[in-house]
Amino acid sequence: MKKIIYWLFMLPLFALLNGCDDTDTIIFDDELPQFEIKANAILLEVIMPKGSAADDEYYIVGDFNGGAEAAVGNLEWQLEKATGSESKWGIYLLPSTFKDGKTLADGFYFVSASKGEERSVKNEAVVHQLDVKVGTRTNVWVDRWEAYFNTEEEGHDGFVVYVADKSGWDNLYLYGWAGAGDVTPAWPGIAVKGTEVINGVTYKYFDMGKALDGYEGVNLIFNNNDGKQFDGPVVTLNRNFYFRITDKGFEEIDPEASYCIYVDDQSGWEDLALYISGAGDNNEDWPGLEPAGTKEINGVVYKYFETDVELMNQSLKLTFNNNKKEDDPGLVLSFVKNITFSRDFYFSITPEKCEEIDPATHGTSYSLYVEDNTGWNALALYGYGEAAIGSSWPGIQVSETKEINGTTYKCFHLTPACTNKNINLIFNDNGVGNQLKDYNLTIDRDYYLRISEAGCSEIKDCTVYVQDNSGWEALTLYGWGDAAIGDSWPGIQVTGTREINGVTYKYFDLSEHVGKYSNLIFNNNGGGQQIEDGGLYTALIGDIYFSITATSYEKLPKP
């Protein structure tokens, strides 16, 4: 139930919390200022990654100071350790000392004397760019040092692939190949070596073997050695890797990062914030965190909140709110959810409710309706391209069968992961040996397809045939719903007449509305008589046959 909280009832809360005004923002401990601002200098306060030694030497490097050769080992460009923080260093930069007209906007990075150059969490080169002036303070973050990726872990053979396994498989193997041959042992590859808990997450791990150190272009395949598999990334084995997998795919993750909270925000609120309580000293001031960004998953754009590692596996109270601060006018709108923070969480928020959702099934999804004329004993569907249909060959099975307008369709209900993706479809006889040529579609709606051993084609026609026994001088057809038949009452005129098996039918060509639904109303061209005031709810696909009198209708089988 939605909670509408007036500021009168919020006063006790704010008596307990630190006061805030329009200029307040959420500040973490490692972001607090540690050095005094100097009027003639640019101050950079640098937040180092965990494990950065206090007795190490750290330098700033860029074109503005002559590059690494000139800067590393030079006290002028060495950072100073903050006395009040375990993770922060600082440096004062005088623009008068910059070389060749270069500035921080031309790019810079940091170097550790013992651990090498600064790197991203994916082991990529880093270049910061800042347009700042003297008399200012700016926080800069370093994610990793080069040594983090170049050092094999003690007790392991070579670099390690860690897997947070959400596949549900009984067994997990990792196969690797490059060029025309195996890199790992032959299929199914390497078995899980063991498990390891890192920041509260249990990983299965694979030791890749020291002999493979530095091997480039390794194609990884996760599998269960029992018919289930999917392609992983192509990697160079020069560091440890961390993945989260399901039975359909993988995601590379940062083991030092906490879980995230994702929100499909349909609340209509002007802003969204998240207040987290029940977490000891990790509480934030009201109204809490603002979204760190957005991420698209299966066609749905989520706002997400990043959290501290210290919150992992704690019992938390989440209060999603409309970011109203103490002196803001209006109502505080909020929803409360209690969780144990042992994984990523996904929520959908509307004006009426907040509910947890499964991102694999949440969002818009479409179906394929297949008129199967192949004569095969079974039918399966595999797809590849921007999204996969089926984690392995022969793909997915028929979801259900439906009779529509006298035709039996085999239905494949696709997941939201396929929505708006371009996919190559391969219909096959469930892996026995027959398959059709690839058929390419962008899955942006339901499709009606007709297949035979000759191939696959889209059904693009819809014709309504009427055996007219009404006695009316004229017959028209009006429709409302997904498809509007006729711009206005009484609708469209008869397209023509056809004789089928000795019976003369009046027919309406509705091919422009194929695949949609409409409530059909037969009438005497607006002369005051009509059949079914509410409309005959009909799927507009293929040939549809009716027999009508002045007061009734009958849907006929195909002749």
pLDDT tens for 374-431 read 999 999 999 999 989 998 899 999 999 998 888 899 999 998 889 889 999 999 999 9
Residues 216 and 135 in one domain: no
Cβ(261)–Cβ(305) below 8 Å: yes
Residues 185 and 88 in one domain: no
In the listed set 126, 147, 168, which residue is the last one of a domain according to the structure? 147
Instruction: Please tell me whether residue 142 adopts helix, strand or coil conformation.
Output: coil
CA distance 288 to 220: 41
Residues 312 and 384 in one domain: no
Does 4 reside within a domain?
A: no
Residue 104's φ and ψ, nearest 5 degrees, are: -65, -20
Query: What's the confidence (pLDDT) of residue 197?
Result: 80
Angle subtended at Cα 92 by Cα 87 and Cα 98, rounded to the nearest 5 degrees: 130
CA distance 291 to 310: 19
Q: CATH number of the domain at 505, please.
A: 2.60.40.1110
pLDDT tens for 9-61 read 333 333 333 333 333 333 444 567 889 999 999 999 999 887 788 888 999 99
CA distance 8 to 35: 40
Residues 322 and 419 in one domain: no
CA distance 144 to 120: 6
Cβ(221)–Cβ(231) below 8 Å: yes
Could you tell me the pLDDT band of residue 331, with boundaries at 50, 70 and 90? confident
Contacts of 541 (CB under 8 A, 6+ apart): 369, 404, 405, 407, 448, 459, 462, 514, 515
Residues 452 and 467 in one domain: no
Q: Count of domains in the chain?
A: 5
Instruction: Please tell me whether residue 486 adopts helix, strand or coil conformation.
Output: coil
Selection from 202, 206, 154, 148 nearest residue 175 by Cα: 206
Evaluate the omega torsion of the peptide bond into residue 95 and state whether it is cis, within 30 degrees of 0.
Answer: no
Residues 265 and 225 in one domain: no
Q: What is the largest CA-CA distance in the chain?
A: 102
Residues 83 and 131 in one domain: yes
CA distance 76 to 165: 48
Does 21 reside within a domain?
A: no
Contacts of 31 (CB under 8 A, 6+ apart): 47, 139
Cα 156 to the center of its chain, rounded Å: 33
Residues 300 and 345 in one domain: yes
CA distance 79 to 98: 17
Residue 218's φ and ψ, nearest 5 degrees, are: -90, 120
Q: CATH number of the domain at 142, please.
A: 2.60.40
Look up the domain containing 277 and give its range: 258-354
- The chain-wide mean pLDDT, for the chain, equals 87
In the listed set 422, 456, 490, which residue is the last one of a domain according to the structure? 456
pLDDT tens for 262-321 read 999 999 998 999 999 886 555 567 888 999 889 888 778 999 998 877 787 788 999 999
CA distance 557 to 467: 12
The two tokens of residue 165 are 């396994």
Cβ(347)–Cβ(320) below 8 Å: yes
Q: CA–CA distance from 87 to each of 29, 281, 283, 433 (Å)? A: 10, 18, 20, 61
Could you tell me where the DSSP H helices lie in 224-382? none
Specify the DSSP element, H or E, that contains 150: helix 146-150
Residue 373's φ and ψ, nearest 5 degrees, are: -115, 25
pTM over 0.75: no
Residues 183 and 232 in one domain: yes
Does 12 reside within a domain?
A: no
CA distance 520 to 506: 15
Mean pLDDT in residue range 57-78: 94
pLDDT tens for 214-271 read 899 999 999 999 999 999 999 999 999 999 898 888 988 888 777 899 999 999 998 9
Cβ(29)–Cβ(356) below 8 Å: no
Residues of the chain with pLDDT > 90, as a percent, come to 61
Residues 31 and 142 in one domain: yes
Q: CA–CA distance from 322 to each of 21, 268, 541 (Å)? A: 16, 9, 45
Evaluate the omega torsion of the peptide bond into residue 559 and state whether it is cis, within 30 degrees of 0.
Answer: no
Query: What's the confidence (pLDDT) of residue 182?
Result: 93
Does 183 reside within a domain?
A: yes
Residues 141 and 45 in one domain: yes
pLDDT tens for 344-382 read 899 999 999 999 999 888 888 899 999 999 999 999 999
Contacts of 385 (CB under 8 A, 6+ apart): 421, 422, 423, 424, 440
Does 198 reside within a domain?
A: yes
In the listed set 125, 147, 169, which residue is the last one of a domain according to the structure? 147
Residues 31 and 143 in one domain: yes
Does 153 reside within a domain?
A: no
Evaluate the omega torsion of the peptide bond into residue 287 and state whether it is cis, within 30 degrees of 0.
Answer: yes
Residues of the chain with pLDDT > 70, as a percent, come to 91
